[in-house]
Structure 1
């Protein structure tokens, strides 16, 4: 069934209550590789409840990430989930995320773009607690075979890599069990755990969640370029450019300029195959 872009965008937003506490934060941080070395004073900010701060990319799993699936169930959206890929992700912070909160998430289809052989659905969720807005999340969902409905093609956000050496290069090893731990934060897709399912999807073994790479990358930027201060992050955007496998190494290159860090991420063991592209962290 073709996507009805006008109906999807006009549909009433879907709202729900979400909540989290220190256990959810700690589990997420461990899922993106925090806690190595376990007794490192900087790592304890991610793992020890008495010192805890919240990496802003936690926003992608708060409430088990249900806003994403809720958006795909919106009126006018009738797609085969086997054709769905997470194309890009942006988080805009309105203030630092608290360690414990009850909040309300409101999700809607922000835009639908016609890419010819595919459609891109932009799902926006806005999260607020009793003190006001916390963050806005935009997920770009790429749906193969659903284009050609005559809609707008949409913007192109490709970024040129700076023509100079990166200011920082960080390597981050992905543990063999990384996906098994990360999925406990709410993404239960067997593609990331079941070898037989992964083969059916065309991979020789399970792949890492794109949003796990997203979190690992932001942690590397915060820990090195931003002095370990999660509260300095204003926004974080990326395009998922390729897969990465547990056991591989992320090579994270950073180019710093006033108010922002531009990033590329590649898989070291596969000739630096791209993992994340068009990636920018803005900060104050």
Structure 2
């Protein structure tokens, strides 16, 4: 977390040192997101599919000075997802996964024209999965974390008679995802794995009603594919019992959000 804390400190300093006539805005909101996670084996065959709706909340703070806008944002979503997978012997296994997804991001926007801007940022993504045990099958808790670079553009050129819209598209470049796995009932020792780097795409369309200038609403789409990790030794009471791997997996979501600006 240290690099991210440093980046936040730098951004906070920029916000604090900006001239008094710089414009600040804060917002809070809520959303509902349909998420899907699919794990695949080396041949591309589906191993696990998790899917369902996650409610969440978010906060955002921005400070604008001339053509530059500096922002900090955070969000957290969580609920149970449907889990459809298989045991090691190939027998189908269905249960629920208690899921929490959170992000903290720092973004910088450079206005190029009245309606067009470039966007760059740094993001920390945290993802917790608790695959619940059932029918004598032990559960597993998995904590994922990764750093991401964000780069893209935003446009506010689309208007209707009642609403102004802003479209933002981002390329997401993620560093290796770090996974810490805890097996319940001491089935195995805890394991730590690192996936490969990953790429993703993100789109967000937000509307600002002219009749209600403090409110906004929108829809966003998020997609990322994370490559398979290397094999790691799986241990029981410190003794090797086999290997464990985080399969290649794909994360996608479509969400709806509403916010209040003050």
TM-score by length of 1: 0.26
Relative contact order higher in (CA < 8 Å, ≥ 6 apart)? 1
Higher-Rg member (1/2): 2
